[in-house]
Amino acid sequence: MIFANPPKIFAHKASIESGNFVTHDAILNKGTDTKANLFHRFCPHRMYPLHNPGEIVQNVNCTFHNFNWDKDGTPLDNTKKLHCGVADVGRSGLVMENFVEPDHKWVDDLAKEKNLLYRHSYTGESTGSWMWLMDAEADLLHLHRAGIHSLLSQQVTLEDIKMEQGDGWILQTHPDGWWLYVFPFSFVEYGEPGMVFVNTVVPNDLNSEYGYKWITQFYYDPSVDINRKIIFETAEGVFKEDVIASEKQKGDYFPLMKAMNQYEDHCVQWGQWVRDNRINE
């Protein structure tokens, strides 16, 4: 395993207001204001997948043998338990595991969003290195007109971005919101007010940096104008540009020790986190 007990951001709590929410890692079930239940997404009988990531379901069903569980994970026609753990629901509304929220403005911003509704998800997969992908997510230097993010460079000026970091996270704030990275798998974007997306990368093999899936979930306040949504959803296209870059980069990921300029500082932060937490050297 590359990292032991790494932090995970599964979703926003709005995803489980109307039913159980399916991710690649687990099925999320509403518990208390501060806790969410985790159910296995693969049937404990013969390991067949239970529903698709991005779906909201009431009762849980395995179509392989037509075994069923109620909305709380209680088996209805079999003896197999689904429950596999508990996740925290932070003040931010994020459903998380192995992560302690800081006392910071990004938590305050999300805590103010009381009316978010889950709308839809995008999913995908890649054969590239998810560690190179996260390096790209941390890299502001490649945001330029002739680079990977030519469209984004027309929307955001590098000089207008404020860079901050904390224990296991980095934040990049621009005039219309911010981008948050919780190492090593999670990316949250906030378009103020009323727009949030949560992106989670899931490695195919925890012992390898190559091969991964992802799910990007979009949440909106009902008052958000359709034109703002259209602009906000270009974020998925930007993410896919980094996915393509991760497939083109040659060789295994290696941490950046020194930045070429300030816009690579967060790459150095990510690299330091990798050096401090990697266990299979």
Q: Is residue 98 part of a domain?
A: no
Distance in angstroms (rounded) separating the CA atoms of residues 152 and 114: 29
Inter-axis angle of helices 130-138 and 234-248, nearest 10: 130
47: in domain: yes
Same domain, 119 and 229: yes
Q: Is the dihedral of CA 7, 11, 12, 14 positive or negative?
A: negative
Range 192-198 average pLDDT: 95
- Smallest Cα–Cα separation from 168: which of 277, 256, 243, 65? 277
Domains identified in the chain, total number = 2
**Mean per-residue pLDDT, 126-143:** 92
Position 3 in a domain? no
Tokens at 137, concatenated: 């997510």
State whether 178 and 210 are in the same domain. yes
* Residue 144: pLDDT band with limits 50, 70, 90: low
The CA-atom distances, in angstroms, between 128 and each of 66, 137, 203, 208, 242 are: 35, 14, 10, 11, 10
- For the domain that residue 65 is a member of, what is the CATH number? 2.102.10.10
pLDDT of the residue at 107: 98
Same domain, 142 and 29: no
Within this chain, do residues 184 and 271 fall inside the same structural domain, yes or no?
yes
Kindly state whether residues 231 and 178 are assigned to the same domain.
Answer: yes
**Domain closes at, from 89, 121, 141:** 89
- Note whether 154 and 198 are same-domain residues: yes
Question: Which pLDDT does position 158 carry in this prediction?
Answer: 73
**Helix H or strand E encompassing 277:** helix 265-277
Q: Verify that 128 and 47 share a domain, yes or no.
A: no
* Straight-line distance from the first to the last Cα atom of the chain, in angstroms, rounded to the nearest whole number: 10
Q: pLDDT category, 235, cuts 50, 70, 90?
A: confident
Instruction: Convert the pLDDT of each residue in 33-88 to its tens digit.
Output: 999 999 999 999 999 999 999 999 999 999 999 999 999 999 999 999 999 999 99
Domain that includes residue 224, residue range: 113-277
Residue 4 neighbours by CB under 8 Å, 6+ apart: 277, 279
**In the structure, what pLDDT confidence band is assigned to residue 153 with cuts at 50, 70 and 90?**
low
pLDDT of residue 1: 73
160: confidence class by pLDDT, cuts 50, 70, 90? confident
For residue 157, what are the contacts with CB-CB under 8 A and spacing of at least 6?
A: none
Dihedral sign (CA 147, 227, 163, 113): negative
